[in-house]
Amino acid sequence: MRKLRVECPAKINLTLEIVNKREDGFHNIKSIMQTISLYDYLNIELNDSSETKIVLSGNSFEIPYDEKNLVYRAAKLFMEKINKNAEIRIYIEKNIPIAAGLAGGSTDAAGTILGLNELFDRPLKNEDLHKLCANLGSDLNVCLQGGTMLATSRGEVIEKLNSIQKNLTLIKPKYLGISAKEAYTKYANKEFKPKYNMTEKMLEALKKNEDISQYLYNDLEYAIFDDYKELQNIKAVVPNSIMSGSGSTYFVLDNVKEIPLNSDYQVIRDLKFVDCGIKCNNFVTN
């Protein structure tokens, strides 16, 4: 038996601008993403077996523990890539809210790929890991690499940027999850699509080491904001907050102590930007 523990950070979108719709149905985007100090953890155990068996479990009642889970798909894809068999047991410790625009599922899948590569003594190079991540989704590559990243294409093409040191607070409606499909569809149906070029403006600010707060922006917030009172309530009490990804989480670049919202909202304080992605530790061999 071999096992390790994998640390998987959430991400936020400092900017998210939609360029156009692709022929494959996805959208090309320009987004500055940032990993933050909110983590899921994976306990991955590897046992000898004549066939590949993937067993998932965890502490959340909100996610499936079967082939529908992106972690399962990531493990299956990795094993097919290296053409080996094993029994893989993965316990998912969820701390990142579900359907929240924070890449919880994506970071867990990226953590699965990196963790398995470590357990099998690194048969794949870093570029191979990124290719597997790109095959599975749009945010995995950012979570794998970590830090402040420019993400283009559908989000899988990444470029490392100068690091930013910021604190932040997250605010999420407890009973509202929004799928990426819903948000992108509603954006596509909008007749007017603003072009503020906030990503380019933020890139210039980063180069000059200037304040970025005035350039925080999300096209998907514009797309869905009018449909959800919960989002409007957040914006009313924290006007400088911005939605991350397809929502429903908002963030504000500060440690906000008093937020006058009721218990229907989850507030996560004392977070910060981190300049790293997935980490593996506590390697054990029996």
Quickly list H helices, the chain. 70-82, 104-119, 126-136, 140-145, 180-188, 198-207, 219-224, 229-237
Separation CA 150–CA 32 (nearest Å): 5
Q: Residues 11, 81, 172, 186: which is the catalytic one?
A: 11
Report the residue count for the chain.
286
Q: Residues 81, 139, 172, 186: which is the catalytic one?
A: 139
Which two structure tokens, joined as six digits, stand for 277? Answer: 């992605």
Q: What is the largest CA-CA distance in the chain?
A: 60
CA distances from 201 to 20, 88, 210 (A): 19, 45, 11
Separation CA 216–CA 237 (nearest Å): 17
Q: How many CA atoms lie within 13 A of 124 on its CB side?
A: 24
Whether residue 275 lies in the annotated active site: no
Whether residue 84 lies in the annotated active site: no
CA distances from 204 to 94, 105, 199, 207, 236 (A): 36, 31, 9, 5, 30
Q: What is the identity of the amino acid at 208?
A: K
CA distances from 31 to 61, 65, 217 (A): 31, 31, 9
Residues facing 53 on adjacent strands: 87
Q: Which residues are catalytic?
A: 11, 139
